[in-house]
Amino acid sequence: MSPKTTFRNGSILSPEGFVTDHVLTIAGDRIASLEASKSASAGEAIDLDGGYLLPGFIDTQVNGGGGVLFNDDTSFEAIAAIGAAHRQYGTTGFLPTLISDELEVIDAAMRAVEQAIEDGAPGVLGIHIEGPFINEARKGTHDPAKFRTLTDQSLKLLSGLKHGKTLVTLAPETTTSGDIRTLTQAGVIVAAGHTDASYGRMAQAFNEGVTGITHLFNAMSPFTHRAPGVVGAALENQSIYCGLIIDGRHVDPVALKIAVRCRPHDRFMIVTDAMPTVGSQTKTFMLQDKLIRVEDGVCVGPDGTLAGSDLDMATAVKNAVEMVGLTLDEAAVMASAAPARFLGLDAQYGVLNAGARADLVWLDRDLNLKGVWIGGEQSLSQKAAA
């Protein structure tokens, strides 16, 4: 029988909201129970000291961390290093993300993710392939020399991950309805990003199987009063999932506040779009021959173009509360339950239910990170033993 660990004396985020008179018990890599109780059961006891226990954060857009950029090193070791860097900030599930590159690099990245999942690298849920099937008009920091259109060869490649989830970000206006349907029928999750699509093309893309928007507002046709664009289509739609980079720089807090008033909170996902600087003392790196440096908390290229972020999930969740005005339970859903549902993993991830994975984040009363557990294993903790 697996040893049990209990968590008590805090606010625990149940599927119905925070409960303060409950004890959560984990056994092995699973949650055994969440029950009303005045005393902890046998086993190790974690005193939450009036803080908060949340489902572990799930980040669907992680380009790098710990000094490692996935595009530069598509290996098992690189994925493990990126995951370790982000776990210290509460990320217990993530998609290593590859920005626009050659098909050979995409293939190598997919094989590395398969190995990572086979070998049990903590937190690896699949892969996010962001480009190269995107629009140069909204390229951001992506290299246009890498861009291409979908072909039978690339469709077969994108549909070929043996383990885990595949998320592909593409520009719908550069593809056909048949392309999108081919991907979704193969089990690929398709998001729109780096796109200059019209409102009409986006509405059509949703019908074709697009279920997500990659970093809403950034690198896409904006909302205007005569041309609602991708942003207008996304804000009108009540069921797709929209990623948000909540660092106060990628999107102005006012725009974020307006966005979250337009749609259900559980259809937004907090993402970091993190670069190698997260979890590293080095705040510069090379991105496809361009020197990227962190300035005022964001990664920028030589021409001032944003190039991902220096953001971690724990900070993003805190920003969602303090900068956007969300409640902690709303922010937590956007950081865990929503991405889990987007990826089709909500039966086991993103929720504190009996039978779910024991992926947990402990925040103190000021929303500072105190502890992280992934699959029941303590990854970071400043626990107070009972």
Residues 6+ apart with CB under 8 A from 106: 98, 129, 157, 158
Pairwise CA distance, residues 246 & 243, whole Å: 9
| 218 has binding-site annotation | yes
> Angle at CA 11, nearest 5°, toward 5 and 15?
85
- Catalytic position from the list 179, 247, 273, 329: 273
| 142 has binding-site annotation | no
DSSP string, 243-293: EEE-SSSSS-HHHHHHHHHHS-GGGEEEE--B-TTTT-S--EEEETTEEEE
| 141 has binding-site annotation | yes
| 306 has binding-site annotation | yes
| 130 has binding-site annotation | yes
| 197 has binding-site annotation | no
Pairwise CA distance, residues 229 & 131, whole Å: 20
| 77 has binding-site annotation | no
| 194 has binding-site annotation | yes
| 322 has binding-site annotation | no
| 5 has binding-site annotation | no
Structure-token match 């990664």, residue found: 299
Is 364 one of the catalytic residues?
no
Residues 6+ apart with CB under 8 A from 90: 56, 57, 312, 313, 314, 317, 361, 369, 372
User: Tokens representing 244?
Assistant: 């948000």
| 43 has binding-site annotation | no
Residues 6+ apart with CB under 8 A from 73: none
Helix or strand (DSSP H, E) at 129: strand 126-130
Q: Which residues are annotated as a binding site for substrate?
A: 141, 218-219, 226, 250, 306-308
Sequence ranges of the binding site: 130, 141, 194, 215, 218-219, 226, 250, 306-308
Give the residue numbers annotated as catalytic, written as ranges: 273
Annotated binding site for Zn(2+): 130, 194, 215
